[in-house]
Amino acid sequence: MDGLIAHSETINKLLARYGVKFGIYKNGEFREQLFPFDPIPRVIGHEEFAYLEKGLRQRVDALNCFLRDIYGKKQILKDGVIPEEFVFSAKGYLPPCDGVVPPKGIYSHISGVDLVQSKNDSWYILEDNLRVPSGASYPMIAREFQRKSAPAAFLHNSVIDNRNYAQMLKSVMDNVNTGGINVILSPGRYNAAFFEHSYLAERTGAVLTTGSDLVCENDNLYYVDYEGRKRRVGAVYRRISDEYLDPMTFYEDSVIGIPHVFEAYRKGNVALLNAPGNGVADDKGIYYFVPKMIRYYLGEEAILQNAPTYLPYYQQDMKYTLDNFDNLVIKDVAEAGGYGVVFGNSLTKEQKADFITLLKNEPRRFIAQEVIDFYDLDILDENGGRVPRKADLRAFVLTGSTTQVWPSGLTRFSRNPNSFIVNSSQGGGFKDTWVLSR
Amino acid sequence: MDVSVPGCDNVRQSLGQFGSRRIYGCIDSPHTDFTIAVSGKVKTGLEIFEEFCEDPLESAVFRVQSGLTQPGPAIRAFHDSLDLCGSAYDRAMAIRKAVHEAFSYQPGATSVHESGEDAFARKQGVCQDYAHVMLSLLRMEGIPARYVTGMLVGEGASHAWVEALCGNWWYGFDPTNDLLVDDSYIRVSCGRDSADCAIIRGTFLGWAVQMQREQVRVEKYEEKI
Amino acid sequence: MGIITLEKSNNLLWLGRYTERVHTTLKYYIEATDRMIDRDPGYYAIFCEKIGIPDIYGSREAFWTRYPFDTDDPNSIFSNLYRAYDNAIVMRDYIGTETMAYIQLAIDDMKSARRVDTYLADLMLVIDHILAFWGCVNDLIYDEQTRNIIKLGKGIERLALYLSLDRPLADIHREYTRMKQFLRKSHMHYDESVLYTIDNMLFEDEVCYNTVRSLIRNLITE
């Protein structure tokens, strides 16, 4: 471990050398920033990981069942387990997807589940990301450099190699491929995660495209080369959001989408990873119901718990929220990336009054959660000393012929000692996540 | 029905959302303009407009607000000022009348993607805005309601109105003309709001300023059986 | 890989052209700087004329620092290096992270050279890393097509610059022959009649460099 710390400078240099960056817009200008890396890994023991693995597989399997049901028979609504209002008013619910069954019935192929560990060592699920979760490439490439700069650290620690992510991803794409090549669809180099798109393309052998070289013809998708030859595309790992995917079906002014790709998808001629419409399942309002889904679809109790959550939509929860306002964190269900998060105790009197009016007017728009007492992780400060910081873990769960959890994950931390927000867009950094094999 | 798009030899059909029929295609070669001509005979009659719907799940998606019907201060205040009572049908009739009276018809006042709230704040708009505001109010009342695009007998542009689920029947209400929908209305498609019901949508590659013109002509044709 | 779209073939071609532009203009700059120290202080005006950029510098000293480093000057070496980077970053899956790193390293060299007085010596490192990049292109890019298009770009740019810089005809003939090999192998669209014209012109008694140069620049049709 000391070797890693001693060589943290080397690793950061390597990250810079290999262009491990993320893009960010500041004052309307695009800039590339290095994603700050901390050399002290998060270590997850063998048994602990087995527990997480079980819980995550269960959760993602249930979420896939839910999506199949919502865009199919809607049995869970008929049985009154989830109020239909929560489903149909979710921003991510897409009527064009109703009745469309994706290849092999899989909706969420790559799921990013965010967890935190509390001081009493329990893990809690913070949110599910079933649309375009990003971040796996960072620990993947950081591991590559760590093994180069401090091989001794890996000699005795039985750390499971996490560089198999690309193979896992490739087999997930191959599993649903309808006959053709795999492509990764990126919005382009000015996207925050462009490094990841290009790196995963390089590692999986998929073709990186920004859409301009893809065309739909007779409800099939093709990739056109510079001599005008067409190759059929069987699977699209798309890193653009649903609304931009196809201007003929979704957001009409999208210039990064592929016209008519939705028709090809609907007719089963191409797989889209993840399936459009998944936003209905990772909606912050639906999150509350995931443990109920697990019980409903799998007949099991949820292994991993949600953070204690209240829905002001229910009268008793509204009362609880108002009574305990100062101890809660309130989240706007329509926002993401650490935005739209309000800590009750951070508001002035007037702000609080305004917020409560808003809450009463639009109860469906918010969820309230207990503030979890995070188990902090040490990071190295500028002087080489260890200081504790808030951190979360994004686990990557891949669904191909079976559902598997990648034996690693993206550990993000807040660089500001008083902040709970770990998102890279807001200045957070990352660590490698070690899973031990024994 | 006949559809012709000169220059496009790959016109295809599929089923769109909410049961709409969708005809689509692509012109590969460079062009400066193109025309889509649709002509045919339609049969209308009261039974088409009063559709039966028993399964509450089928209408649930129309009970919640959608992107363009989200109420804001203007619509909320208006809702508070209305004295609504009685059956869903009675309330829908009252809302139709109130919206008709509150708005003044002003072609060109609004843009295509404008929400009902924004149009209502100005109290000016076209059939699309009348329909969005009526939808917003009906949904605030818990009445499932959907947006309908279609045509009227005569010559001009396409029209939009509202259908509300009253009892187990969908009834058509035209807030722009303050009328109940009858057999002079031809229904084309329906959805949560106008964004779901575009009569035409598309995209092109290249640098060009685009202009779109739409013309509708409907003549009555009586057929004795 | 085997599938290169029109857009990507352009990126590869320009990656070759810009890396070569950085390489050759940097070498020429180092040579010209030496000349300006004592022998010919006003030579920068000729330098600009030769490579066909506007002389916005006004003094030898301004030229010395602005031409290599000024990223606000679209004709500076650094600006061209960034263009190479722009074309490389979108091609990671074709050229590989390893190969790409050398462009990044050249950028880092530029940045650190800018900060020191001994920048002439430090600029040599930029050339080192460009050469390492070329080494990787040869050694690590297994796909022939990808390699050939990059090398075609490099060949075209080198030939155009050599013509601008009035290099001896023997050099021009050599580079032309090399470039033509890659042109055939790359399967890029080009105008056969233009090639035929160049063929004839280059072996006339009096070769008009200017005409050949403009023909070379327009060889590839899109």
Q: Which domains does chain B have, with CATH numbers?
A: 1-40 (no CATH), 44-218 (3.10.620.30)
Inform me whether the C-beta atom of residue B29 falls under 8 Å from chain A C-beta atoms. Answer: no
Tens digits of residue pLDDT in C32-73: 999 999 999 999 999 999 999 999 999 999 999 999 999 999
Cβ contact A226–C9 (<8 Å): yes
B29 and A109 in contact (C-beta within 8 Å)? no
As a whole number of angstroms, the distance between CA B206 and CA B32 comes to 10
Partners for C (CB, 8 Å, 3+ pairs)?
A
Tens digits of residue pLDDT in B136-173: 999 999 999 999 999 998 888 889 999 999 989 999 99
A340 and A285 in contact (C-beta within 8 Å)? no
Beta bridge mates, A413: A391, A429
Q: What is the largest CA-CA distance in chain A?
A: 68
Cβ contact C5–A225 (<8 Å): yes
Tens digits of residue pLDDT in C122-177: 999 999 999 999 999 999 999 999 999 999 999 999 999 999 999 999 999 999 99
C78, with CB counted inside 10 A (0-12, 13-18, 19+), is: buried
- CA nearest A225 in C: which residue? C5
Cβ within 8 Å of residue C65, ≥6 positions away? none
Phi, psi of A381 (to 5 degrees): -90, -175
Strand pairing report for A305-306 and A123-129: parallel
- CA nearest A97 in B: which residue? B17
- CA nearest A93 in B: which residue? B61
By Cβ distance, the residue of A78, A218, A361 closest to B57 is A78
Query: With contacts defined as CB-CB under 8 Å, which chain C residues touch A224?
Result: 5-6
Answer whether A touches C (≥3 Cβ pairs < 8 Å).
yes
Inform me whether the C-beta atom of residue A198 falls under 8 Å from chain C C-beta atoms. Answer: yes
By Cβ distance, the residue of A77, A88, A219 closest to B64 is A88
- Give kind and range of the element (H or E) at residue A200: helix A194-204
Q: Output b/e per residue, B56-86; b: 16+ Cβ within 10 A.
A: eeebbbbbbbbebbbbeebbeebbeebeeee
By Cβ distance, the residue of A89, A255, A259 closest to B65 is A89
Query: With contacts defined as CB-CB under 8 Å, which chain C residues touch A210?
Result: 7
Query: What is residue B49's predicted lDDT score, i.e. its pLDDT?
Result: 59
As a whole number of angstroms, the distance between CA B110 and CA B119 comes to 7
Inform me whether the C-beta atom of residue C8 falls under 8 Å from chain A C-beta atoms. Answer: yes
As a whole number of angstroms, the distance between CA B52 and CA B142 comes to 18
Query: With contacts defined as CB-CB under 8 Å, which chain C residues touch A137?
Result: none
Domain locations along chain A:
2-300+374-435, 308-370
By Cβ distance, the residue of A17, A205, A227 closest to C105 is A17
Q: Provide the shortest C-alpha distance from residue A369 to chain C (in Å).
A: 42
Inform me whether the C-beta atom of residue C89 falls under 8 Å from chain A C-beta atoms. Answer: yes
Phi, psi of B196 (to 5 degrees): -85, -10
Query: What is residue B48's predicted lDDT score, i.e. its pLDDT?
Result: 57
Tens digits of residue pLDDT in A115-152: 999 998 899 999 999 999 999 999 999 999 888 888 88
B60 and B142 in contact (C-beta within 8 Å)? no
As a whole number of angstroms, the distance between CA B192 and CA B132 comes to 9
Q: How far apart are the first and last CA of chain C?
A: 22
Cβ contact B64–A252 (<8 Å): no
Cβ within 8 Å of residue C165, ≥6 positions away? C24, C28, C50, C51
pLDDT-derived band at B224 (thresholds 50, 70, 90) equals low
Average pLDDT, chain A: 91
Amino acid letter at A76?
I
Cβ contact A213–C92 (<8 Å): no
Strand pairing report for A37-44 and A429-435: parallel
Cβ contact A18–C100 (<8 Å): yes
One DSSP character per residue, A223-283 reads EE-TTS-EEEEEEEEE-S-GGGS-TTTS-TT-SSS-TTHHHHHHTTSSEEESPTTGGGTS-
Query: With contacts defined as CB-CB under 8 Å, which chain B residues touch A260?
Result: 24, 26
Count CB-CB contacts under 10 A for residue C13.
24
Closest CA to C102 of C144, C131, C70, C68: C131
Residue B53 has pLDDT above 90, yes or no: no
Asked if the bond preceding A218 is cis, omega within 30° of 0, the reply is no
Average pLDDT, chain C: 92
Residue C1 has pLDDT above 50, yes or no: no
By Cβ distance, the residue of C7, C101, C187 closest to A212 is C7
Closest CA to B17 of C134, A404, A98, C199: A98
Cβ contact B203–A98 (<8 Å): no
Q: Provide the shortest C-alpha distance from residue C194 to chain A (in Å).
A: 20
Strand pairing report for A386-389 and B51-52: unpaired
Amino acid letter at A321?
T
User: In the structure encoding, which two tokens stand for residue A437, read together?
Assistant: 């094999």
Query: With contacts defined as CB-CB under 8 Å, which chain A residues touch B12?
Result: 218-219, 263
Cβ contact A17–C101 (<8 Å): yes
User: How confident is the prediction along chain A (438 residues), in pLDDT tens digits per residue?
Assistant: 677 777 777 887 888 888 787 777 777 777 777 788 999 999 999 999 999 999 999 999 999 999 999 999 999 999 999 999 899 989 899 999 999 999 999 999 999 999 999 998 899 999 999 999 999 999 999 999 888 888 888 988 899 999 999 999 999 999 999 999 999 999 998 888 999 999 999 999 999 999 888 999 999 999 998 888 899 999 999 999 999 999 898 888 777 899 999 999 999 999 999 999 999 999 989 999 999 999 999 999 999 999 999 999 999 999 999 999 999 999 988 776 667 788 988 899 999 999 999 899 888 889 999 988 888 999 998 888 899 999 999 999 999 999 999 999 999 999 888 777 777 667 789 999 999 998
Select from A22, A226, A232 the residue whose CB has the most chain C CBs within 10 Å, as the one to mutate to test that interface: A226
Inform me whether the C-beta atom of residue B220 falls under 8 Å from chain A C-beta atoms. Answer: no
pLDDT-derived band at B180 (thresholds 50, 70, 90) equals very high
3-state secondary structure C5-64: CHHHHHHHHHHHHHHHHHHHHHHHHHHHHHHHHCCCCCHHHHHHHHHCCCCCCCCHHHHH
CATH tag, A308-370: 3.30.1490.270
Residue linked to tokens 């990841």: A196
Amino acid letter at A175?
N
Query: What is residue A156's predicted lDDT score, i.e. its pLDDT?
Result: 84
Cβ contact A89–B203 (<8 Å): no
User: In the structure encoding, which two tokens stand for residue A219, read together?
Assistant: 């409800």
Q: How far apart are the first and last CA of chain B?
A: 20
Composition of chain A by helix, strand, coil, percent to 5: 35, 25, 40
Q: Provide the shortest C-alpha distance from residue C185 to chain A (in Å).
A: 13
Q: How far apart are the first and last CA of chain A?
A: 17
B158 and B38 in contact (C-beta within 8 Å)? no
Query: With contacts defined as CB-CB under 8 Å, which chain B residues touch A96?
Result: 16-17
Q: Provide the shortest C-alpha distance from residue B222 to chain A (in Å).
A: 36
C201 and C214 in contact (C-beta within 8 Å)? no
Answer whether B touches C (≥3 Cβ pairs < 8 Å).
no
CA angle C39-C44-C47, nearest 5°? 110
Cβ within 8 Å of residue B170, ≥6 positions away? B49, B50, B51, B52, B53, B146, B163, B164
Q: Provide the shortest C-alpha distance from residue A437 to chain C (in Å).
A: 29
As a whole number of angstroms, the distance between CA A289 and CA A307 comes to 12
User: In the structure encoding, which two tokens stand for residue C38, read together?
Assistant: 């004592």
Phi, psi of A264 (to 5 degrees): -60, -40
As a whole number of angstroms, the distance between CA A54 and CA A44 comes to 14
Angular region, A93: left φ>0, alpha ψ -120 to 50, beta rest: beta
Closest CA to A332 of A360, A363, A358, A367: A367
CA angle A383-A385-A391, nearest 5°? 110
Phi, psi of B150 (to 5 degrees): 180, -155
As a whole number of angstroms, the distance between CA C215 and CA C195 comes to 8
- CA nearest A87 in B: which residue? B61
Considering chain B, what percentage of its residues have pLDDT values greater than 90? Answer: 52
As a whole number of angstroms, the distance between CA C150 and CA C96 comes to 13
Inform me whether the C-beta atom of residue B61 falls under 8 Å from chain A C-beta atoms. Answer: yes
Query: With contacts defined as CB-CB under 8 Å, which chain C residues touch A226?
Result: 4-6, 8-9, 187-188
Query: With contacts defined as CB-CB under 8 Å, which chain A residues touch C5?
Result: 209, 212-213, 223-226
pLDDT-derived band at C2 (thresholds 50, 70, 90) equals low
**Which of helix, strand or coil describes residue A114?**
strand
Select from A245, A260, A266, A267 the residue whose CB has the most chain B CBs within 10 Å, as the one to mutate to test that interface: A260
As a whole number of angstroms, the distance between CA A138 and CA A134 comes to 9
Phi, psi of A178 (to 5 degrees): -95, 10
Considering chain C, what percentage of its residues have pLDDT values greater than 70? Answer: 99
As a whole number of angstroms, the distance between CA A368 and CA A371 comes to 9
User: In the structure encoding, which two tokens stand for residue B185, read together?
Assistant: 């209305």
Phi, psi of C122 (to 5 degrees): -70, -30
Cβ contact B65–A263 (<8 Å): no
B215, with CB counted inside 10 A (0-12, 13-18, 19+), is: exposed
Cβ contact B60–A219 (<8 Å): no
User: How far lies B199's CA from each of A116, A425, B20, B44, B191, in Å?
Assistant: 48, 39, 10, 19, 12
Inform me whether the C-beta atom of residue B123 falls under 8 Å from chain A C-beta atoms. Answer: no
